[in-house]
């Protein structure tokens, strides 16, 4: 593996990582977060998107140990240290699940309506789906 500082300096791509599945029914959420942290550590411009059941990943007071899972949700707090500050969430997905923006585990979540969410996603060059 080449060290971070040797990634060539072509025009930087904006990377979007889209989460649309619930946190503990599969490893998607953890795998997406690992990917985000790696892109962050290579100083790639990376945004996280949450829609559908993916919004549950940002909701507080979940105890993964009750189902013998590791609590990766607390790692979301580390995103800021990797300069990943663009975290977008779909308002409609939140409403449909009876959730509110006061229940997030991290502070800098940007809640967008469907159209804004879509427009924001389209501003990125690369999309990874989980």
Partner 1 sequence: MAFIITTPPNSNLTATALNYIELALEQGVSVLGVFFYQTGVLNANEYIALASDEFQTTQQWQLLHQKYQLPLHLCYTAAEKNGLSEEKNTNNIASHFTVSGLGELVELTSAADRVVQL
Residues binding partner 1 (CB under 8 A) = 1-2, 4, 7-8, 10, 13, 15, 27-28, 31, 34-35, 38-39, 42, 44, 126-130
| Residue 123, phi then psi, degrees to nearest 5 | -75, -5
Q: Which two tokens stand for residue 125?
A: 């060059």
Nearest distance from residue 9's CB to partner 1, in Å? 9
Nearer to partner 1, 17 or 111 (CB): 17
Q: Which two tokens stand for residue 120?
A: 């924001």
User: Contact, 15 vs 46, CB < 8 A?
Assistant: yes
Nearer to partner 1, 4 or 77 (CB): 4
Residue 67 has, within 13 A of its CA and on its CB side, a CA count of: 8
Nearest distance from residue 84's CB to partner 1, in Å? 14
**How far is it, in rounded angstroms, from Cα 111 to Cα 120?**
11
Nearer to partner 1, 15 or 58 (CB): 15
Nearest distance from residue 91's CB to partner 1, in Å? 26
**Beta strands 109-112; 126-129: pairing state:** unpaired
Nearest distance from residue 5's CB to partner 1, in Å? 12
């Amino acid at each position: 593996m080449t060290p971070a500082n040797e990634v060539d300096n072509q025009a930087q791509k904006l990377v979007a990582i889209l989460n649309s599945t619930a946190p503990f029914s599969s490893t998607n959420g953890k795998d997406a977060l690992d990917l985000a942290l790696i892109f962050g550590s290579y100083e790639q411009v990376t945004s996280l998107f949450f829609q559908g059941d993916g919004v549950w990943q940002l909701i507080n007071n979940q105890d993964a140990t009750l189902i013998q899972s590791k609590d990766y949700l607390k790692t979301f707090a580390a995103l800021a240290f990797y300069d990943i500050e663009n975290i977008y969430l779909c308002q409609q997905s939140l409403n449909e699940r009876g959730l509110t923006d006061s229940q997030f585990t991290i502070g800098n979540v940007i809640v967008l309506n469907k159209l804004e969410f879509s427009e924001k996603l389209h501003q990125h060059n690369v999309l990874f789906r989980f």
